[in-house]
Amino acid sequence: MAKMKGIVPVGDCKVQVREFEIPEPKDDEVLVEVKCSGICGSDVNTFRMSWEQINERQNLVVSHEAGGVVQKVGKNVENISVGDRVCIYHYLGCGKCKYCLEGKYGWCEDKEAYGWHFNGSAREYLIAKAVNCCPLPEELPFEDAAFMACSAGTAYASLKKLDSFAADGYLTVMGLGPIGMVCSLMAAAKGWNVLACDLSETRVKFAEGLGIHVIQSNGDSPLSEQIKDAMDGRLPIRIMDTTGHPSGLADAVEIAENGAHIVTIGKGRRKYLMSDRFDISEVVVKELVIQGSWVFTLPEYYEMMEFMVEHKLSFNNLVTGRYSFDEAQEAFEAVADMNNAGKTVFIKK
Ligand SMILES: [Zn+2]
Ligand SMILES: [Zn+2]
């Protein structure tokens, strides 16, 4: 049987390139040749774990951000054909509960995900349920699928939560990892005036190169003063916290205008507790609304896809590292470097 390569984390910042058999799709499944697979922040968390911490995911192929081309379809598959370009939605649900029926697979009690419950997307071929194969329009390169499967979907769903909120045209984005970058570009496409903040000079420079208005938040003056200077004396009424760090949310609360709406999306790998700088009395007195946002629904993929095509939006220029599967160790080390900016992906070279 034909073989393929897949990337398996083996603990303590090491990954192995292993050989697997290319699987055969069952009746309702599809075999996809992976053209691009992104490395997510959550994969870097796994990369840094010890073998014991990897626990139930030991020996599983990592990652969940894939785009590719359909190679084979099972006999019951009608919505997808061989040769179709697809982006793989990374959650599977029972398909019957109220959450699944709304497309909210992430809330299904029986949910499973690529790289968590079964082999992930950092491999040359993967099996997907037909329902998880979302169309990838010709206008969008396979690199975009790596964003749309995770970070861009998450950004799209969280920005929607700010849509309905009265605002002044500004959006402040905390953190310029891939999700912060994507949020900034998507919000700019919506016509919002984006101001982003990050500590890292590398990320600040990279974002500025993409035309994003950025404040480097470890400057000499308080962040709120820097923001006021950049926003005609105002403070943010609409804030997206993408830092996944307690200080990011504490900063957001600190800089928020009275009545502001904050959406927060990152959560890290451990129990995520508030910073001791987070002062609840500020939430009370300023009457802040703080809302969480967790990934995105399957229907939201289709909305995002139309949004991207309509606004001619691509995240291809956020890709700063393109590696083959054989270069997996190097690729993961590059992403784990805190000075890294942009997105790293595996592609067929
Ligand atoms: Zn991800
Ligand atoms: Zn379900």
Note the CATH number of domain 3-150+314-347: 3.90.180.10
Q: Greatest CA span in the chain, whole angstroms?
A: 66
- Residue 18: what are its φ and ψ, rounded to 5°? -115, 160
Using a CB cutoff of 5 Å, list residues around ligand 2, an ion: 93-94, 97, 100, 108
Residue 7 C-alpha to ligand 2 middle, in angstroms? 29
Dist CA 37 CA 34 (whole Å): 7
Q: Is 312 exposed, middle or buried (0-12, 13-18, 19+ CB in 10 A)?
A: exposed
Residue 4 CB partners (closer than 8 Å, separation 6+): 19, 20, 21, 22, 123, 124, 125
Question: Which pTM does this prediction carry?
Answer: 0.94
CATH architecture of 154-292: 3-Layer(aba) Sandwich (3.40)
Residue 64 C-alpha to ligand 2 middle, in angstroms? 19
Residue 101 C-alpha to ligand 2 middle, in angstroms? 7
Helix, strand, or coil here: 162?
helix
> Looking at the CA of 45, which ligand is closest?
1
Residue 180 C-alpha to ligand 1 middle, in angstroms? 13
> Looking at the CA of 115, which ligand is closest?
1
> Looking at the CA of 114, which ligand is closest?
1
Residue 146 C-alpha to ligand 1 middle, in angstroms? 9
Instruction: Say what the alpha-carbon torsion angle 80, 81, 87, 92 is, to the nearest 10 degrees.
Output: 40
Residue 170 C-alpha to ligand 1 middle, in angstroms? 27
**Over its length of 349 residues, how does the chain's per-residue pLDDT go in tens digits?**
689 999 999 999 999 999 999 999 999 999 999 999 999 989 999 999 999 999 999 999 999 999 999 999 999 999 899 999 999 999 999 999 999 999 999 999 999 999 999 999 999 999 999 999 999 999 999 999 999 999 999 999 999 999 877 778 899 999 999 999 999 999 999 999 999 999 999 999 999 999 999 999 776 788 999 999 999 999 999 999 999 889 999 999 999 999 999 999 987 667 888 888 888 999 999 999 999 999 999 999 999 999 999 999 999 999 999 999 999 999 999 999 877 889 999 998 7
Residue 102 CB partners (closer than 8 Å, separation 6+): 297, 299
Residue 60 C-alpha to ligand 2 middle, in angstroms? 23
- Residue 213: what are its φ and ψ, rounded to 5°? -80, 120
Computed over its alpha carbons, how large is the radius of gyration of the chain?
A: 20
> Looking at the CA of 177, which ligand is closest?
1
Residue 43 C-alpha to ligand 1 middle, in angstroms? 7
Residue 91 C-alpha to ligand 2 middle, in angstroms? 10
Domain map (residue ranges) of the chain: 3-150+314-347, 154-292
- Residue 162: what are its φ and ψ, rounded to 5°? -95, -15
